[in-house]
């Protein structure tokens, strides 16, 4: 079955799906996006993704292409048309197509594209047992990382460095040594006293949906939480480290830049959080490992 994409009101075969070459997404990366998970045919944390998309659009004064309710209907249609039960939905909105000129064009219709593809979350369940490695990378991004912008070149470069180092992820490290987040994931450590620490929600990081879900679950399970900056040195000294995202819900980190974290195996606090997270996934979607 060939994949179908939604482009500005129409479902078309992916190979035929196109946008205008003067689309501001193509010309200026003038757009935003979301990635949401479908498990067992149901969306995970969908209201949070819709809310973040709305916020990203408002921050850039891009008109919403449709209401939240309509967006949800189209999302379901795209998943169903592609027969996806376990998979990922991509939503991308740009300011639209207009003669190339930096300032916002007048009266442009935003471009809305949605695609979906299968994704096997069991791969993540397996990685939870082995753990993954990260490397560090200089923080080279702009200062509005809270906007889920499609301008991802620094993230692409960081992830490529990780791939070349055979690591799963690259952590961005500021000039003062602070770890902000990963190239497509939020960064966490577990201090030796059991407190979990992640960078505060601010303009310096993307407010990950999974980050929010995990914070709530940690509090529910009486795990001490601190939203505070930590350095790469703090991470090396931590009992455990892990990362979160929609596509990698809660993965233990066993090495950073080739240095072992803790005893070099996935730690108990991360395992407990991952358990809580998969239970939450099951509660929302009925999906079971
Ligand atoms: C830079 C960055 N940080 C964090 C995340 C995790 O966000 P979420 O949990 O919403 O997937 C992403 C996801 O794409 C990201 O690109």
Query: Token pair of 226, please?
Result: 């601190």
CB 153 within 8 A of CB 107: no
122-128: list long-range contacts, CB under 8 Å, 24+ apart: 122/289, 124/247, 124/248, 124/249, 124/251, 125/278, 125/289, 127/168, 127/248, 127/251, 128/250, 128/251, 128/252, 128/266, 128/271, 128/274
Q: Rounded CA gap, 222 and 133, in Å?
A: 28
Cβ 159 under 6 angstroms from ligand 1: no
Cβ 215 under 6 angstroms from ligand 1: no
Q: Which of 206, 246, 281 to mutate to test the pocket of ligand 1 (most atoms within 8 A of CB)?
A: 206
pLDDT of residue 2: 86
Q: Which of 184, 201, 243, 273 to mutate to test the pocket of ligand 1 (most atoms within 8 A of CB)?
A: 184
CB 140 within 8 A of CB 157: yes
Q: Which of 148, 159, 166, 192 is catalytic?
A: 148
Nearest atom (ligand 1) to Cα of 209: 10
Nearest CA to ligand 1 atom 7: 208
Q: Rounded CA gap, 155 and 51, in Å?
A: 23
Cβ 250 under 6 angstroms from ligand 1: no
What does the DSSP 8-state code read for residue 62? P
Nearest atom (ligand 1) to Cα of 213: 9
Q: By C-alpha distance, which of 28, 24, 33 is closest to 184? A: 33
Q: Rounded CA gap, 28 and 100, in Å?
A: 9
| pLDDT averaged per 10 residues, the chain (length 289) | 94 97 98 98 98 98 98 98 98 98 97 98 97 98 98 98 98 98 98 98 98 98 98 98 98 98 96 98 97
Residue 228 CB neighbour total at 10 angstroms: 12
C-alpha of residue 227 to centroid of ligand 1, in Å: 16
The answer to whether 148 is a known catalytic residue is yes
Q: Rounded CA gap, 126 and 38, in Å?
A: 19
Query: Token pair of 240, please?
Result: 């455990």
Q: Rounded CA gap, 173 and 176, in Å?
A: 8
Nearest CA to ligand 1 atom 5: 185
Q: Rounded CA gap, 115 and 79, in Å?
A: 8
- List, in sequence order, every beta strand (DSSP E) within the chain: 4-7, 10-13, 31-39, 42-43, 87-94, 111-118, 132-138, 169-173, 178-182, 186-190, 196-198, 225-227, 230-231, 240-244, 251-256, 259-260
């Amino acid at each position: 079955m060939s994949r179908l994409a939604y482009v500005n009101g129409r479902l078309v075969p992916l190979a035929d799906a196109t946008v205008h070459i003067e689309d501001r997404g193509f010309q200026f990366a003038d757009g935003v996006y979301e990635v949401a998970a479908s498990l067992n045919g149901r969306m995970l944390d969908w209201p949070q993704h819709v809310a973040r998309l709305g916020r990203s659009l408002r921050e850039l004064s891009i008109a919403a292409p449709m209401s939240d309710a309509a967006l949800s209907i189209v999302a379901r249609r795209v998943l169903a048309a592609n027969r996806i039960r376990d998979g990922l939905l991509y939503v991308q909105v740009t300011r639209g197509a207009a003669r190339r000129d930096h300032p916002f064009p007048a009266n442009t219709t935003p471009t809305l594209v949605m695609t979906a593809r299968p994704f096997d979350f069991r791969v993540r369940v397996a990685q939870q047992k082995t753990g993954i490695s990260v490397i560090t990378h200089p923080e080279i991004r702009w200062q509005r990382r809270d906007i889920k912008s499609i301008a991802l070149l620094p993230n692409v470069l960081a992830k490529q460095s990780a791939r070349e180092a055979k690591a799963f992820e690259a952590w961005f490290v500021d000039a003062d040594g602070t770890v902000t987040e990963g190239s497509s994931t939020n960064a966490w450590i577990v201090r030796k006293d059991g407190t979990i620490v992640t960078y505060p929600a601010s303009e310096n990081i993307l407010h990950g949906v999974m980050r929010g879900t995990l914070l709530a679950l940690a509090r529910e399970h009486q795990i001490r939480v601190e939203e505070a900056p930590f350095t790469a040195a703090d991470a090396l000294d931590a009992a455990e480290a892990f990362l979160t995202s929609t596509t990698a819900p809660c993965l233990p980190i066993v090495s950073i830049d080739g240095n072992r974290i803790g005893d070099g195996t996935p730690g108990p606090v991360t395992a407990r959080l991952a358990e809580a997270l998969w239970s939450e996934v099951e509660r929302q979607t009925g999906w079971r490992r």
